[in-house]
Homo-oligomer: A and B are copies of this chain.
Amino acid sequence: MRVLGIDPGLTRCGVGVVEGVPGRPGTLIDYHVVRSEPDEDIALRLLHLDRSLAELVTLHKPESVAVERVFSQHNARTVMGTAQASAVAILAGSRAGLPVQTYTPSEVKAAVTGSGTADKAQVTAMVTRLLRLDAPPKPADAADAIAIAICHIWRGGTRARIQAAAIAAARRSSR
C-alpha cells in the first residue's frame, strides 16, 4: 500500500510518501515541503499548494491520502491558514478519486512513538528508525507528514476502503 501523508500548512505543507503493509517496516519513497510566503496573496498561495499537491499525487500514484486533522485550540491566526491548507490537502486526494483519511495529531504520535503526547524530536527519531533512514528527514514538517503516512498504513486502511467506495459512487453519480 502506497500512502501520501500530508501535514497541512499554508507557509510550509509537509508531504511524505511511504509504501508498506500493516505491522512491517515501510519504505520511504519521497518527501517534500510545499512553501509559500505569508505576505503573498491568499488566492495565489492556495493555488500553488493545490497544483503542487496534484503534481505529487500524479507523480507518486498513491492508493490513499492521509491528512493530519486540524484543531481550533492552536494559535487563532495560524489555524485559519492551516484549516484552509487541510481543505486543499483533502481535495488533492478526493479529486483524484482516492480515499482520504484524517488523523488527529495524537493518533499519529501514538502510532509511531507509542505515546500520544510525544514531541517533534521523538516523532522524527522514530520515523528515521522505522524507515531505516541514514539521516532524519528535514525539516520537521516532512517528518510529521511521513509519520501520518506510517500511521495510516498501520491502521490497515479499513476505513479508507469503505470511503473509497463512497467516493467512487459520488464520482459516478456526478457524471
Contact = CB atoms under 8 A, between A and B. Distances in A.
Interface of A: 41-44, 46-48, 50-51, 70-73, 76-77, 79-80, 83-88, 90-91, 93-95, 99-100, 102, 163, 166-167, 170, 174
Contacts of A95: 47, 50
Contacts of A170: 44, 47-48
22 contacts: A41-B163, A43-B100, A44-B166, A44-B170, A46-B90, A46-B91, A47-B94, A47-B167, A50-B91, A70-B80, A72-B76, A72-B77, A72-B79, A73-B76, A79-B83, A83-B83, A83-B87, A84-B84, A84-B86, A84-B87, A87-B87, A88-B91
Say what secondary structure dominates the interface of chain A: helix
Number of copies: 2
Contacts of A50: 91, 95
Nearest to A86: B84
A43 B84 contact: no
